[in-house]
Structure 1
Amino acid sequence: MDTRQIEENIEKLISGEKDEILIKKEDFMKFREIWLNHPDKNSIIGKANHFGEVSYYYKSNE
């Protein structure tokens, strides 16, 4: 997954087009860099899965 795809997936997650994003182990550091700089990072919640994969969900703070 490249940076553009990660950014698009985050925006789809926030808008409700997607319920979750599955980030594979090899994409985690790219995702983390984008996530840390995102204004809604506190609403994007990760859940660890097997084999280093993480599922991210959006939980509105409102």
Structure 2
Amino acid sequence: MAKDGLQFGNTANFADRSGSDGDGRYDDDELYVYGTNPYWWDTDGDGSGDGEEVYYGTDPTGV
């Protein structure tokens, strides 16, 4: 914080890399690495989240 009480920060609007669907995978990685949908928690609809499937080595794009 500056002496005059003003606080400065980065106000640039960067893409949110934390993931839109809450499955623990970055949106960019879902699109370009795993081939999953960054807006669906469970791309293949099998009941296991994409992040969980990637972690355990199963295929998040097919049942």
Q: Same fold (TM over 0.5)?
A: no
Normalising by the residue count of structure 1, what TM-score does the alignment of the two structures yield?
Answer: 0.23
Quick check: which one's strand share is greater?
A: 1
Normalising by the residue count of structure 2, what TM-score does the alignment of the two structures yield?
Answer: 0.23
Say which structure, 1 or 2, has more relative contact order (CA 8 Å, 6+ apart).
1
Give the greater-gyration-radius structure (CA). Answer: 2
